[in-house]
Amino acid sequence: MCAAKVETRESLFVSGHRACHGCGLALAVRHILEATGPNVIVVSPTGCLETFTSPYGYSPWRVPWIHHVFENAPAVASGVVAALKAQGRPVTRVVAIGGDGATFDIGFGALSGMLERGDDVLYICTDNGAYMNTGGQRSGATPSWASTTTHPAGKQSVGKTERKKDLPEIVAAHGIPYVATASVAYLRDLKKKVKKAMTFHGPRYIQIDTPCPSGWNFPSHLTLEVGRQAVKCGLVPLFEMENGKIIGVRKLKKKLPVTEYLQGQKRYRHLFESDGGQSELQKLQAEADKNIEKYGLMESG
């Protein structure tokens, strides 16, 4: 069943939705749609985006939008693409926007299937590194040593001991034409990547770092600052891949120590409160350094 018609305004994602103060995801979605333009159908899995945009009778979406269940957005998107093809509506494009839980974990099989089939879907993962809609539980996208409600730091725990799944690389291994990472802190770069992705046909993937003030526990006016720090320290490298090859990275003028990024977030507080956290902080710095080297992030380098 359909909700009532949405209100008329310039933007394709209008105000009045119920996202938290300072939500990185909501900001990202508005700019994604500015880049795609109006001739798109958006598919979303269950998650924050679905919850805060779809209370029955209200909708901020000024493009057709469909949510079905948690783990099937890529397959629903494939179905929409198949229908558009069958009906001869080639101008309308399909964009899926899902969180990291839906993308890295529960919907991963469906995502891989969609990529393997080569369906004409731009899949955008808005990554805040945990199941924020249900209160911040660990996901495959949770970075190492972050404390989550299902893998909390404690007397005998330093938070998540495993690595964040390297999804851009896994997605790229499907041999798709375009893969990029972006950050809501760099909106011009984000929109440029979305626009570029729209010029390709076949499956495309963009992973956007969307800091979550409620889940990471930082003041809600600092979303963009926290996002910038994540990029500047090297933990969130911004790059573009075409046909499996890196074609560009966002260079860093100066390397920010990871502690500058981590210390303001409650999910890492335990690393700063005990001496034991030092070794984890060093490991996180090593991970950032590895990214800097792997992607050639330093301007001088």
Partner 1 sequence: MNEVKVVEGSEAVALAVKACRPHVISAYPISPQTHIVESLARMVADGELDAQYVRVESEFSAASVLAGASAAGSRSYTASSSQGLLLMTEVLYASAGMRLPFVMTGVNRSISAPINIQVDHQDTMSLRDAGLIQFYVESSQEAYDVHLAAFKIAEDPQIMLPVMVCMDGWVLTHSYERVAFADQKAVDEFLPPFRPENYLDPAHPKSWGSYAEADVLMEFKYAIHRAMSLGKARIKEILAEVAAFTGRDHGGLIEAYRTADADVVLVAMGSMVGTIKDAVDELRQGGKKVGLVKIRCYRPFPYEEIEEAIRGAKVVGVMDANFSMGSEGAVGLDLKAKLCGRPEAPLIIDYIAGLGGREINAQTIRKLVARTEDVYRSRLILPESEWVDLNPAILS
Rule CB under 8 A: which residues touch partner 1? 1-3, 5-6, 38-41, 43, 50-51, 53-57, 59, 61-69, 71-72, 74-87, 92, 109-110, 112-113, 116-117, 119
CB of 226 to partner 1, least distance (A): 28
Beta carbons of 138 and 151 less than 8 angstroms apart: yes
H-helix or E-strand spanning residue 153: strand 153-154
> 153-162: long-range contacts (C-beta < 8 A, 24 or more apart)?
153/269, 153/270, 158/270, 158/271, 158/276, 158/277, 158/280, 159/267, 159/268, 159/270, 159/271, 159/280
Pick the closer one to partner 1 by CB: 82 or 256. Answer: 82
- Smallest distance from partner 1 to CB 45, Å: 10
How many residues are there in the chain? 301
Q: Which is nearer to partner 1, 28 or 76 (CB)?
A: 76
Nearer to partner 1 among residue 79 and residue 264 (C-beta): 79
Give the nearer residue to partner 1 in terms of CB position, either 121 or 238. Answer: 121
Structure tokens at 39: 């001739």
Q: Is 97 exposed, middle or buried (0-12, 13-18, 19+ CB in 10 A)?
A: buried
Number of other CB atoms surrounding residue 157 within 10 Å? 12
Q: What is the distance of C-alpha 136 from the center of its chain?
A: 15
Smallest separation (angstroms) from partner 1 to the CB of 23: 17
| Beta carbon of residue 88, minimum distance to partner 1 (angstroms, whole number) | 11
- Choose between 69 and 173: whose C-beta lies nearer to partner 1: 69
- Taking the complex as a whole, the smallest distance from the CB of residue 15 to partner 1 amounts, in Å, to 15
